[in-house]
Amino acid sequence: MKMAEKKIKAIGVLTSGGDAPGMNAAVRAVVRHGLTKGMKVFGIKRGYSGLIDEEIIEMKAGNVSGILSLGGTVLGTARCKEMRTPEGIARAVEVCNKYGIEGLVVIGGDGSYRGAEKLANEGINVVGVPGTIDLDIACTEYTIGFDTAVNTAMEAIDKVRDTSSSHERCSIIEVMGRNAGYIALWCGIANGAEDVLLPEKYDYDEQKLIDNIIDNRRRGKTHHIIVNAEGVGHSASMARRIEAATGMETRATILGYMQRGGSPTCKDRVYASTMGCLAVDLLAEGKTKRVVSYANGKFRDYDINEALAMTKEIDPYQIEICSSLSHNYYKTEEAALDVDEEL
Ligand code: F6P
């Protein structure tokens, strides 16, 4: 430990923004690893709102028993507008000081890190842990909850595909992702969708979509699956127009919040646990303004501002293969010859 570093005696943990399966594993890790390191650990309810309203409980190892396999977050979560104001920040700092909370683990997305950064400027040591099903945090290739959510969506789309095929229908399946198409793209590949609509690559051409459906139908394909990201939206009206133009019965299914719930996958439990422990280690080392990340095969951490300034692009190669593995494959003459086996 360097001379300037002070030993942190008490830390707090909160979950903020949209909940994500695996957040409980991260909370459990922060509590148990913190206790192991001799710290007092406080659980803060309902994100920053609970901090401002002093909804704080001292956590013992038993408080986090049996939560590893649970979806959601036992601490509750919220999107807190007050943390965007100087008064909100001042109040949060006041409460931290009252409870002796010198370090704070914030499990959430970019918006949550902005609040954390402001607390750090007021002397509270903070470490962010990436928690969102959207996978849209630039500094990391893994975010808590994505693996569970994308598997939930994949399984649901498989089921819709069964009935779609039996009834020879077109199905538009809307998955979560207001600004990010990772769930849509991964499902596009994993479910073998004929079309995928992503908010990042909004070159939506309904006539092209309609032509593809008619082409595939003519070749004897019994269903047409379109995975649509929430950020593109309008699935129900799209379905009506497609049905009118193609004559193929078309249904819209919006998977919605079911993607945010459910028991976390093994990957989400293990990665979330690892990240929770790493956040505690960073605080124990006297670090602040850090965000935990998983990149290039390693768990690591970044400066919050550096992390917030990063951008990431949805993989163009994955977009390309998603397309080449679906209907576009049948566009080539040779491929059309063995189409019967592939359908
Ligand atoms: O958690 C991420 C996310 O699910 C986005 O995909 C979605 O746009 C948003 O949260 C919706 O959250 P809420 O309706 O809870 O504000």
Ligand 1 atom at minimal distance to the Cα of residue 79: 16
Confidence check: pLDDT of 238 > 70: yes
CB of 230 closer than 6 A to ligand 1?
yes
| Ligand 1 within 6 A of CB of 178 | yes
- 177 ligand 1 Cβ < 6 A: yes
Atom of ligand 1 at shortest range from CA of 19: 1
State in Å: Cα 229 to ligand 1 middle: 12
Q: How much is the average pLDDT of 236-264?
A: 96
pLDDT of 1 above 70: no
Which pLDDT value is given to residue 218?
84
Average of pLDDT values for 31-39? 97
CATH architecture of 148-256: 3-Layer(aba) Sandwich (3.40)
Give the count of beta carbons closer than 10 Å to the beta carbon of residue 85: 11
Spacing, Cα 18 to ligand 1 middle (Å): 6
Q: Which has the minimum average pLDDT: 51-65, 119-133, 172-186, 320-334?
A: 320-334
Under a CB-based contact definition with an 8 Å cutoff, are residues 2 and 9 in contact?
Answer: no
Among 178, 179, 257, the mutation site with the greatest number of ligand 1 atoms within 8 A of its Cβ is: 178
For residues 324-336, give the mean pLDDT: 56
**pLDDT reported for residue 144:** 98
Q: Return the residue whose CA atom lies nearest to atom 10 of ligand 1.
A: 18
Percent of the chain residues past pLDDT 70, beyond the cut:
93
Three-state secondary structure call for residue 108: strand
**Which residues, other chains included, contact 174 with Cβ-Cβ below 8 Å and sequence gap of 6+?**
228, 229, 230, 233, 235, 252, 253, 254, 255, 256
> How far is the centre of ligand 1, averaged over its atoms, from the C-alpha of 178 (Å)?
7
- Please state the φ and ψ torsions of residue 127, each to the nearest 5 degrees: -135, 130
The residues of the chain that CATH labels 3.40.50.460 are 148-256
pLDDT at 94 (0 to 100): 96
What is the distance between the alpha carbons of residues 294 and 27, in angstroms, rounded to a whole number?
Answer: 18
Q: How far, in Å, from the CA of 132 to the mean position of ligand 1?
A: 9
Burial readout 304-329 (b: 16 or more C-beta within 10 A, e: otherwise)? beebbeeeeebeeeebeebbeebbee
Higher per-residue confidence, 90 vs 328: 90
For residue 65, pLDDT over 90 is answered with yes
**pLDDT tier for residue 328 given thresholds of 50, 70 and 90:** low
pLDDT given at position 336: 44
How much of the chain exceeds pLDDT 90, in percent?
A: 83
First to last CA, the chain: 63
CA dist 113 and 129 (Å) reads 9
Tell me the catalytic residues: 134
pLDDT number for residue 6: 62
CB 193 within 8 A of CB 227: yes
User: Residues 298-303: what's their mean pLDDT?
Assistant: 97
Supply the DSSP string of 199-244, one letter for each residue: GGG----HHHHHHHHHHHHHTT---EEEEEETTT--HHHHHHHHHH
The CATH 3.40.50.450 domain(s) of the chain lie at: 10-145+264-309
Mean local confidence (pLDDT), 293-297: 96
pLDDT tops 60 at residue 285: yes
Q: Which two tokens stand for residue 298?
A: 């390693």
Does residue 220 carry a pLDDT above 90?
A: no
CATH C-level class of 10-145+264-309: alpha beta
